[in-house]
């Protein structure tokens, strides 16, 4: 360890994060949401959409909710109705429910036992698909190999048209990208349904759908065989459909997912309780699927000052780590976020960036941290932008980051051209090749600027965590502690889709994920 952090202070920080996060976990364990229940039915095999484009899984959950509410979950009333109606297909049941020809009720006695058994069998089939996909990934990595260097080079593509994204993604892989992220269409996080099928029209991104996932995964498998290394695929499990998108990612073998415990609350004004319930279930799915999550701490620094608010990034990383571990994720799956967002005109800005990056690296030594490039201070001067990205790449290799998102010289100016991506990848490749294992040789001066700054940020993070323990995390979010956004727990989008568990609540997916008999 190069920062000579006091291990007692590090342990104290983690203990405080656990105390701050546990009440939120307790809240999540005692509530459900429409998206959690839809995810259960997707695992059980419900697919398709009506002529208006509304998924049948939405229609089915809405019908159950109207008849009996969500307090006991949807599995029991749905599988009781399936048995009572004589149907053998959940999607057909959903179609009939949408037409108003099926009524739902809570079973009792022998009917209850049969509904539990049938729902668990159906959901277990979906889990087996996720398990097979994880085994397939492991087999392909053994056969084709992983990228030779760290950090992995992470590059975004998204034209809005999945059939245009595919050749761009394959070209990026040939040019050296190890991870391809298909950024979502603007505003999809606020849709309370997942669009169906392949999509050809998006806005500053491409819709996250099961079919789009399938198409891109197949294309990148082809590229993986061509290049002799496994190329990973990323999408976004955030917003109002976080559990469903996580489930679809597991069913289609995605490798990474953006999944942050507070991003949707702070930057999309999604209700905090809805978000925490949804993120816990989605992370349980990620844990089962062997998916690496990427968290969103970098976003705080686009609204707050990157020096003054540095400790809030550390606090969020510690909270994200606690929530992830509680949901079953292992350290190798924690792509905790941080960013190169200090004003470059500030004296010693690069030394500060090194201190912050090295602090994250040493607090989470086994995690593949996701290091984000400069965006806030990109001015449109492409030469200056390319230089800043070079310094970002240098900081990443000096501090041993795990996942390095490729910075674009045209950031905040235009959607990048393929030529822009080529120049950005050249920048990354030059720095990584020239530096090699420079992180082994880079050691800050004992008691020097970098060590002092890192210790200051850790001390400020511990102080803030102590205040959060006293005031509760929900109050801290309401007070604008993170990213200067104020988000009260009784407001925000999606609150009407939250339900408290009633006696008899049953979720076969959670039962399987938590290994309950």
Contacts of 259 (CB under 8 A, 6+ apart): 237, 238, 242, 246, 279, 282, 283, 286, 293, 294, 295
Exposed e or buried b for every residue in 61-97, given b needs 16+ CB within 10 A? bbbbbeebebbbbbbbbbbbbbeeeeeeebbbbbbbb
505 carries an active-site annotation: no
CB atoms within 10 A of CB 186: 12
298 carries an active-site annotation: yes
Exposed e or buried b for every residue in 419-444, given b needs 16+ CB within 10 A? ebbebbbebbeebbeebeeebeebeb
Q: CA-based angle 245:248:252, to the nearest 5?
A: 140
Q: Using CA atoms, how far apart are residues 85 and 93, in angstroms rounded to an integer?
A: 8
207 carries an active-site annotation: no
Residue of 230, 236, 263, 300 marked active site:
263
Q: Using CA atoms, how far apart are residues 15 and 12, in angstroms rounded to an integer?
A: 5
Whether 322 contacts 18, CB under 8 Å = yes
Q: Using CA atoms, how far apart are residues 349 and 343, in angstroms rounded to an integer?
A: 7
Residue of 116, 165, 370, 506 marked active site:
370
Residue of 165, 260, 278, 298 marked active site:
298
CB atoms within 10 A of CB 334: 23
Tokens encoding 229: 């290394």
Q: Using CA atoms, how far apart are residues 283 and 199, in angstroms rounded to an integer?
A: 26
Which residues are marked as active site? 263, 298, 370
């Amino acid at each position: 360890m190069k920062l000579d952090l006091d291990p007692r202070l590090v342990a104290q920080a983690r203990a405080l994060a656990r105390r701050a996060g546990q009440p939120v976990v307790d809240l999540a364990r005692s509530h459900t949401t429409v998206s959690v229940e839809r995810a259960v039915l997707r695992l059980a095999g419900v697919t398709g959409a009506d002529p208006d484009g509304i998924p049948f899984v939405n229609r089915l959950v809405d019908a159950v909710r109207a008849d009996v509410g969500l307090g006991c979950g949807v599995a029991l009333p749905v599988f009781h109705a399936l048995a009572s109606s004589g149907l053998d297909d959940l999607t057909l049941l959903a179609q009939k429910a949408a037409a108003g020809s099926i009524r739902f009720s809570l079973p009792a006695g022998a009917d209850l036992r049969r509904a539990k058994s049938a729902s668990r069998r159906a959901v277990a089939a979906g889990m087996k698909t996720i398990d097979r996909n994880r085994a397939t990934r492991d087999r392909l990595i053994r056969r084709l190999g992983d990228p030779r260097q760290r950090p992995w080079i992470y590059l975004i593509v998204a034209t809005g048209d999945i059939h245009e994204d595919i050749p761009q993604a394959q070209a990026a892989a040939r040019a050296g990208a190890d991870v391809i992220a298909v950024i979502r269409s603007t505003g999809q996080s606020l849709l309370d349904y997942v669009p169906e099928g392949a999509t050809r029209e998006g806005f500053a991104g491409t819709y996250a759908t099961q079919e789009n996932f399938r198409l891109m995964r197949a294309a990148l498998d082809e590229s993986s065989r061509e290049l002799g290394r496994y190329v990973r695929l990323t999408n976004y499990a955030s917003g109002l459909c976080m559990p469903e998108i996580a489930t679809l990612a597991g069913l289609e073998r995605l490798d990474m997912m953006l999944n942050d415990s507070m991003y949707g609350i702070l930057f999309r004004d999604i209700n905090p309780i809805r978000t925490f319930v949804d993120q816990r279930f989605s992370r349980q799915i990620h844990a089962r699927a062997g998916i690496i999550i990427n968290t969103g701490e970098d976003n705080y620094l686009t609204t707050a000052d990157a020096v003054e608010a540095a400790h809030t990034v550390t606090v969020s990383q510690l909270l994200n780590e606690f929530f992830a571990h509680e949901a079953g994720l292992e350290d190798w799956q924690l792509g905790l976020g941080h960013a190169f967002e200090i004003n470059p005109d500030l004296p010693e800005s690069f030394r500060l960036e090194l201190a912050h990056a090295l602090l994250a690296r040493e607090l989470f030594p086994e995690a593949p941290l996701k290091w984000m490039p400069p965006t806030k201070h990109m001015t449109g001067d492409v030469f200056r932008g390319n230089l800043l990205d070079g310094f970002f790449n240098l900081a990443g290799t000096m501090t041993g980051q795990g996942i390095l998102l490729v910075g674009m010289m045209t950031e905040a100016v235009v959607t990048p051209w393929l030529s822009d991506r080529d120049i950005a990848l050249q920048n990354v490749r030059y720095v990584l090749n020239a530096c090699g294992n420079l992180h082994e040789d880079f050691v800050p001066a004992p008691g020097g600027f970098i060590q002092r700054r890192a210790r200051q940020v850790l001390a400020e993070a511990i102080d803030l965590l102590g205040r959060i323990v006293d005031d509760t995390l929900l109050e801290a979010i309401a007070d604008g502690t993170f990213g200067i956004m104020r988000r009260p727990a009784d407001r925000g989008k999606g609150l009407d889709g939250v339900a408290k568990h009633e006696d008899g609540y049953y979720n076969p997916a959670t039962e399987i994920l938590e290994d309950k008999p």
